Chains A and B, each alone.
Chain A
Amino acid sequence: MKKTVIITGGNKGIGLDITRVFSESNYQVFVGARENTSELEGLGENVYFVKTDVREESDHQNIVKVAIEKTGRLDTYINNAGFSAWRSIENIDNDFLNNIIDTNLKGVFWGCKSALAVMNSGASIVNISSIAGKRGSSNNSAYCASKFGVNAITQSLSKEVGKKNIRVNAVCPVIVPTSGLKKALELPESPAVGNVNEFIDNFRKTQAALPNLPKGEEIGKSCLFLASDDASAITGQCINVDCGVFPQ
């Protein structure tokens, strides 16, 4: 029997790579995002697009309903949708903060709630967090707050639903140079302003233990492992997938 996974934001960036990895591993993949993409459409008939705004609880409920109707099961829910943006504290206004919290933090709450309403023993949730969920950095307080929150949801829900044999984990990548991240790095208060490629290269050389920074595919494979029965004893963990930037 093919397993079913829902991936929010699985239409681009790291999410698209996660979608690819699960699709190649014989999963039926439901991608919840605001827009379909040609890359997604090229992935074949086991990948379904369901228009979803992660800020809306009812959109999470909707994609769960569609997945259950089409495949009769939900094995894994991956809360991947999110975005990064740097701003100093004096420039953070209500709209900026609401947008980042509604998407990165509340989006994960609604995803977990909607998935857990139907999940059975053996199912799992994987949240895409960040090492920004474990350590703060300059001009990044809003994003870090949202990702610390994601790790808190992960730990709390693992305790809350563990007795049903449902696992909840997170992966914490560091800089994966997607087009979305590069755009964020061009913001005036980002640490890379004006010099994105040089910043990334420098970060790789000075921060990572390994020679490289993680690729989207490697994030996808970490998720695939956490979703699999091979990870049956792992829950409540927020695992750094960061090429050794932040050993713990």
Chain B
Amino acid sequence: MSYIDKLFDIKNQVVVVTGAGGYLCSEIAIGFAKAGAKVAVLDLRLEKAQAVASQIIDLGGEAIALEIDVADKEQHVRSLEEVLDKFGVVDILINGAGTNCATPFFELTLEEWQGVMNSQITGTFLGCQIFGKYMVERQSGSIINISSASSGPPLSKAFTYSVAKAGIKNLTQNLAREWAENGVRVNAIRPGFLPTEWNQKNFITEEREKAILGHTPMNRYGSPGELIGALIWLASDAASFVTGAEIAVDGGFSCMTI
């Protein structure tokens, strides 16, 4: 094994990715599989999870697809059991599930607010609680939450989402402190703009695109594959002294004003 392979080695480690049927996390799940990890592909939409799992298996990897509503504690408990039945252990958790909505503030309904909060902050909280307990008891594990360039200062139009991401960042720091002596690291990545089709349609007018790219020193959008390197680093022992960090992968968005 070469020095670099050993440094970032996650071969045969078991990673659980929630929201892994989606735009970003499906790429992440496949990236981890390509790095040799065994992947539990969890999503609310089972058929999407299954499609990603079959893609991984077609690539020669190992994967299991499971349905999960991340806002439901029992479903986390059941998922942990099923992953342990299939793979025996859990080494890495990526809390990737979460939704967004573009509703103007005065028109935001309680349902929309709660929908985004449930999937983002409650889902991340429950993932950390259920899988984190297993990891703390095992004295070993790496959790990676998905923060955002909106976690602070916030992004216009994404009111609920920004609140939720600020909460995820805060929880990440608090759990990093809590579990620092228990062998469990908790970090977050802070993606900038890696728009999905839905984002393009619902959020990004021509004017907004100008504003976004004008505030992104690299003057372009990111692609989901560009998150994978940071995630594998955070998951691996190469990041053994890194906890409570929010790693920006944003083309420079967070480093400048004008």
Contacts and interface: CB of A to CB of B under 8 A. Distances in A.
Given A56-B89, A58-B88, A58-B89, A66 B137 contact: no
B152 interface: no
Interface string B1-15: 000000000001000
A87 interface: no
B138 A59 contact: yes
Interface in A9-56: 36, 48-53, 55-56
Given A51-B134, A56-B88, A66 B139 contact: yes
Contact of B183 (A53, A58, A59, A66): A66
A55 B88 contact: yes
Contacts of B137: 36, 49-51
Contact of A62 (B12, B84, B138): B138
A95 interface: no
Contacts of B138: 50-52, 59, 62
B55 interface: no
A168 B137 CA distance: 29
A20 to B, nearest CB: 21
A1 to B, nearest CB: 22
B140 interface: yes
A99 to B, nearest CB: 13
A230 interface: no
A66 B88 contact: no
B237 to A, nearest CB: 10
A69 interface: yes
A66 to B, nearest CB: 4
Interface in B113-149: 134, 137-140
A3 interface: no
A62 B136 CA distance: 12
Contact of B88 (A48, A59, A63, A69): A59
B140 A53 contact: no
A208 to B, nearest CB: 39
A238 B36 CA distance: 40
A66 B89 contact: no
Contact of B89 (A48, A59, A69): A59
Select the residue from B12, B88, B137, B138 with max chain A CB neighbours within 10 A.
B138
Interface residues of A, number: 16
A235 B172 CA distance: 49
A15 to B, nearest CB: 17
B89 A65 contact: no
Given A66-B183, A69-B183, A50 B89 contact: no
A50 B88 contact: no
A248 B183 CA distance: 46
A65 B139 CA distance: 10
Contacts of B139: 48, 50-51, 62-63, 66
A101 to B, nearest CB: 16
A55 B89 CA distance: 10
Contacts of A62: 89, 138-140
Contacts of A58: 12, 88-89
Interface in B82-96: 84, 88-89
B134 A53 contact: no
A63 B139 CA distance: 8
Nearest to B240: A69
Nearest to A66: B139
Contacts of A66: 139-140, 183
A190 B258 CA distance: 79
A66 B135 CA distance: 12
Contacts of B88: 53, 55-56, 58-59
A69 B240 CA distance: 12
A69 B140 CA distance: 11
Nearest to B138: A51
A53 to B, nearest CB: 7
B150 to A, nearest CB: 36
A63 B140 CA distance: 9
A179 to B, nearest CB: 22
25 contacts: A36-B137, A48-B139, A49-B137, A51-B134, A51-B139, A52-B138, A53-B88, A53-B89, A55-B88, A56-B88, A56-B89, A58-B12, A58-B88, A59-B88, A59-B138, A62-B89, A62-B138, A62-B139, A62-B140, A63-B139, A65-B140, A66-B139, A66-B140, A66-B183, A69-B183
Which 10 interchain pairs have the tightest Cβ spacing?
A: A51-B137, A56-B88, A51-B138, A66-B139, A50-B139, A62-B140, A58-B89, A56-B89, A59-B89, A62-B138
Interface of A: 36, 48-53, 55-56, 58-59, 62-63, 65-66, 69
